Amino acid sequence: VDSSNLATIAEIAAALGVSKSTVSRALRAMPGVSPETIETVRRTAQEMGYIPSGAAVGLSTGRNHAVGVLVPALGRWFFDSVVTGVGRVLAAQGYDVVLFDLDRTVGEGARVFVRSILRRRVDALVVVAMMFSDEELAEFALLDIPIVAVGPPTAGVRTIGVNDAAVMTAATEHVLGLGHRRLGFIGGYDNESPSVVSPAEREHAFMTTAMNAGAVVEATWMLSGRYRCARAREVAAPLFRSASWPTAMVCASDEMAIGVMLAIQEAGLRVPQDVSVIGVDDHELAEAFDLTTCRQDPQAQGEIAARQVLAEVDGAPRLDAFPPADFSLVVRGTTAPPHGSR
């Protein structure tokens, strides 16, 4: 027990000749403490370099003033934005964010985090775009703390996020409206990260909308880019070097849209003259690439999630479902009527 040289509440009490309780109350400005004592205590606390011990407070009150944030990985716009949003409201309320980057956990003793990682160090949990096993959900239940998910619907956890079907339908209808009838799609599908929730609705909504409009969607035009720019570029490259390609690519994320654009250009084709490209997110780079997209605001979603769990930690009634988050079509320069049309 190497508790450095930081002052404790007892020490400042001794120095002032008052009781620990008085100091404790004064420090927290509780009702029923004379303004003078409150002043004196605060000042000497300051002078003595007092910093409360989170552990002691936590043990005593049962509140850790910290919420856990589980992300599949850092470095992706959506996840980062959510964490930023969550962090913003938590900081404002004096809560810490304990970050769990599950990326590294996968593979090893994989995801035994509930028991081994979150040892009641957090008062609530915000999880981003992840799937959980029944076991994990059971442990969450045991933990008995507010949990909300952000992103695509997470089984077993209430989720805040956009309506993926609506978003994709809007994107698809935009290019259909421009006259495109040869449509391609790139989504995140594959079994690489089974624990990361992929918005399944997106592919489905694209297909349905395209089919209903009588558009042509060849099997080879349905790509999987794992939501990464580089990966999208790789898988799209052969398509645009082949003999038959779509005149519009509907992408489930802006990162993939950018990758697709790169592939298109490398193949000697131009956007939007030869191929239109539309994404989803309004990523920070979307404007720089003049990318048409369906804007959503993950930071705001994170803020909503954080506010809700904090409210519940403070005794607010549990909210069972969130209304879908906002999104809106942002038309820029990567979509245009297909070549040859007017």
Binding site for a copy of itself (CB under 8 A): 1-6, 49, 51-62, 64, 66, 69, 73-75, 77, 80-81, 83-84, 87-88, 91-92, 94, 96-101, 103-105, 115-121, 142-145, 229-230, 233, 259, 262, 284-285, 287-289
Tell me whether strands 66-71 and 327-330 are parallel, antiparallel or unpaired: unpaired
Output the CA–CA distances (angstroms, integers) from residue 181 to 119, 176, 213, 265, 269, in the order listed: 54, 7, 8, 21, 18
User: Over the Cα atoms of the chain, what is R_g?
Assistant: 26
- Rounded distance, CA 323 to CA 119, Å? 31
Residue 36 interface partner, choices a copy of itself, DNA, none, CB cut-off 5-8 Å depending on type: DNA
CB 247 to a copy of itself: min, Å: 22
Q: Measured from the CB of residue 216, what is the shortest distance to a copy of itself in angstroms?
A: 29
Q: How far is the CB of 228 from a copy of itself (least distance, A)?
A: 8
3-state secondary structure of 278: strand
Q: What is the dihedral of CA 244, 246, 252, 255, to 10 degrees?
A: 70
Beta strands in 21-95 (DSSP E): 66-71
Residues in contact with DNA by CB under 7 A are 1, 3, 8-10, 17-22, 24-28, 32-37, 50, 52-53, 56-57, 59-62
What SS3 class is residue 258?
helix
Give 50 or 206: the residue with its C-beta nearer to a copy of itself: 50
Contact 113, 158 (CB under 8 A): no
Nearer to DNA, 1 or 288 (CB): 1
Picked from DNA, a copy of itself, none, the partner binding residue 273 (CB below 5 to 8 A depending on kind) is none
Cβ 272 vs Cβ 336: under 8 Å: yes
Q: Pick what 342 binds: DNA, a copy of itself, none; C-beta below 5 to 8 Å, kind-dependent.
A: none
Question: Is the C-alpha dihedral spanning 10, 15, 21, 24 positive or negative?
Answer: negative
| Integer angstrom CA distances of residue 317 from 51, 74, 322 | 33, 32, 14
Q: Which residues contact 21 (CB under 8 A, 6 or more apart)?
A: none
Q: 179 with 337: CB under 8 angstroms? A: yes
C-beta closer to a copy of itself: residue 225 or 338:
225
Least distance CB 39 / DNA (angstroms) = 10
**Short-list 81, 87, 113, CA closest to 100:** 113
Element (H, E) at 207: helix 200-212
Q: Which of DNA, a copy of itself, none does 37 bind, CB closer than 5 to 8 A by kind?
A: DNA
27 binds, among DNA, a copy of itself, none (CB under 5 to 8 A by kind): DNA
The length of the chain, given as a count of residues: 342
Residue 178 C-beta: closest distance to a copy of itself, Å: 23
Closest to DNA by CB, 32 or 109: 32
Q: How far is the CB of 140 from DNA (least distance, A)?
A: 19
Q: Which does 121 bind (CB under 5 to 8 A by kind): a copy of itself, DNA, none?
A: a copy of itself
Minimal CA–CA distance to 125: which of 54, 80, 203, 69? Answer: 69
Rounded to whole angstroms, the Cα distance separating 311 from 70 reads 19
Tell the residue number behind the tokens 């969130």, with chain if given: 322
Residue 210 or 223 with smaller CB distance to a copy of itself: 223
CB of 23 to DNA, least distance (A): 7
Q: Which does residue 230 touch among a copy of itself, DNA, none (CB within 5 to 8 A, set by kind)? A: a copy of itself
Q: How far is the CB of 24 from a copy of itself (least distance, A)?
A: 14
Task: Pick between residue 161 and residue 259 the one whose CB is nearest to a copy of itself.
Answer: 259
Binder of residue 262, out of a copy of itself, DNA, none (CB less than 5 to 8 A by kind): a copy of itself
Could you tell which of DNA, a copy of itself, none binds residue 80, using a CB distance below 5 to 8 A set by kind? a copy of itself
